[in-house]
Structure 1
Amino acid sequence: MRYFSPGPVHLRLGLVCLGVGLQHGTLPAVGPRTLDHHVAVVVSSGSGWYRTPDGRSHTVRAPALLWLLPGVVHHYGADPHSGWDEAFVDFTGSAVAAYTELGLIDPERPVLPLADTVAPRAAVSRIARAARHGNPLLEVETAAGVHELLVALRRARADTASDGDPVLTALARDAFQPLSVAEHAARHHMTTAELRGAVRRAAGCSPKDYLLRIRLSRAKELLAATELPVAAVARRVGYDDPAYFSRLFTRRVGTAPVRFREQQGRTVPGGWSDTVPPPDDPPLITRDP
């Protein structure tokens, strides 16, 4: 176990690590206690229990995640006979509110089943390695590790498919079609309210805002990588009225489409690709000997 005391400048990063630990076996119970920060407890093997503030007890079976929230009494422990394998990370910061709004931290479900713990445990291990004595970048590296851990935990949730949320995947596929939110909902055999709830849980925003983000991101790519007129770009991303598209783009991006192209536009020999190269085999310039 290691604990840290980030300074004021580190707190301005938005998310900082306060501690990290890996332990296993028939560990003593924790609590009842209350903390002033968040803790993610990843249970990789074994089983135990978690008791809510109202006294109700929940069985915890690996793989699972325990969210310990600031100001909320928590009480939990491993099975006294078989024990469990756990890793924990203490963290705090202003970015916690945004992660909660985006659904990566779920205060309503303190015990969450996970599909597996490979990626979360790898993130915790990187935090632990960064926590070595004498590391001049300890606070920055461990803070980056907390961001990685929250993403890994969201992907590892048992209610998330390996290829992502099916509703978000379908919305992204159909984002450039002239469909209303109600029409998108009907395609999923959902009411508009059900679609709003599903997207809010998965992406932390409304369906309209989720679709808008996809459309504007694609518009930026087309403006930067092609010479298509703004009106053509607007049509490509689902807007028949180029004037409306320009107003919307300017309001959300902070600059007009023409100005964005002036700043970001560039010509690439052979054209652009939307294929991400494998990290272990990136394209390289070959030089003659």
Structure 2
Amino acid sequence: MFRTWMRFFTPGAVHHRLGLVCLGVGLQHGAVPAVGPRVLDGYVAVVISSGRGWYRTPDGRRTAVTAPALVWLTPGVPHHYGPDPDTGWDEGFVTFTGPDTATYTELGYIEPERPVVPLADASGPRDVIARIARAARQGNPLLEVETGAAVHELLVALRRARADLAPDGDPVLHALARDACTGMTVADHAARHGMTPAELRAAVRRVAGCSPKDYLIGIRLGRAQELLATTELSVAAVARRVGYDDPAYFSRLFTRRVGAAPVRFRAQQSRAVPDDWNEGLQEDAEPGPPVAEPVDGP
């Protein structure tokens, strides 16, 4: 015996320009019939919150699926899967597509090469699927936008729920964030963790979807924007505070990454804040020691 509930949607061309659109949502429980072999044109995230089953790869290999788990179905890839008939499983699925799938794949949120992903906890993704199911009511004027936005949220929830990621964040990323505005290079950070630069790059990309250099620059420039918006520190002083001894280089990097020069950013975003908020943030009497731009290599 099994129970099935599902709804399918047909977003218009304008909704596809949102980046991701939801094409369907479903909830199934019990000894659900096996699916496939088949090939799809879109993506499906199948979240198994209880029970167990199997997934068969295109080359015939059988992989066990034990809840909580995620099964990725990706376009053009044959798949065949189902629950064990003796146990069944509790399944929620979301079908989606859109141009942003390429970016989410590049960042590691969608993993075509890893169709079965163990989860630490399925409650977060299942909450998002339940919201999509509630949005699927007849006559909902926000249906396409509401469900499309929820797909973005679902991809984040699935990434956060992965069993191979610590629920409170990765200690390597915490250390990089803590020391981002110092003079440490990527090689320095790697040595601190007993890694080679290549190992650090692989670890950061697996968790954050970017290189250590880009991760450090993002934190530095985020802090620089805060200082420009909330203090009267000179651009040179802000540059030193976030790890750049050369203010000209800092200004070029800031302009390229933020889209506005530091002076223009300050003119647009400056805010009056309480005096005690800025305590300890004003320019030092003596400039600090030179610090190096993080390099992505040994």
TM > 0.5: yes
How does 1:44-123 map onto structure 2 within 5 Å? 44-123=49-128
SS for the counterpart of 1:164 is coil
Deviations 1:171-224 (A, max 9, x none): 111111101111111011011111111111111211111111111111011101
Number of aligned residue pairs: 273
| Alpha-carbon distance in 1 for matches of 2:130, 2:105 | 23
Equivalent of 2:231 in 226, 231, 255: 226
| Alpha-carbon distance in 2 for matches of 1:174, 1:100 | 29
Runs of 4+ aligned residues of structure 1 deviating over 3 Å after TM superposition are: 269-273
2:267 corresponds to: 262
How does 1:1-289 map onto structure 2 within 5 Å? 1-269=6-274, 272=277
TM-score (norm 1): 0.92
Taking only the aligned residue pairs, the percentage that are identical comes to: 76
SS for the counterpart of 2:272 is coil
Q: Gaps spanning 5+ residues in structure 2: where?
A: 1-5, 279-298
Which amino acid in structure 1 is aligned with residue 88 of structure 2?
G
| Alpha-carbon distance in 2 for matches of 1:118, 1:11 | 28
| Alpha-carbon distance in 1 for matches of 2:58, 2:176 | 39
Shift of 1:63: 0.3
SS for the counterpart of 2:137 is coil
| Alpha-carbon distance in 1 for matches of 2:225, 2:54 | 49
Q: Gaps spanning 5+ residues in structure 1: where?
A: 274-289
Shift of 1:243: 1.5
| Alpha-carbon distance in 1 for matches of 2:35, 2:235 | 60
| Alpha-carbon distance in 2 for matches of 1:120, 1:270 | 43
Shift of 1:269: 3.5
Deviations 1:91-143 (A, max 9, x none): 00011111111111111210000001111000000111111110001000000
| Alpha-carbon distance in 2 for matches of 1:162, 1:48 | 25
Which amino acid in structure 1 is aligned with residue 120 of structure 2?
A
Shift of 1:268: 2.2
SS for the counterpart of 1:141 is helix
SS for the counterpart of 1:67 is strand
SS for the counterpart of 2:150 is helix
| Alpha-carbon distance in 2 for matches of 1:228, 1:209 | 25
Q: Considering only aligned residues, what root-mean-square deviation do their CA atoms show, in Å?
A: 1.1
TM-score (norm 2): 0.90
| Alpha-carbon distance in 2 for matches of 1:97, 1:169 | 27
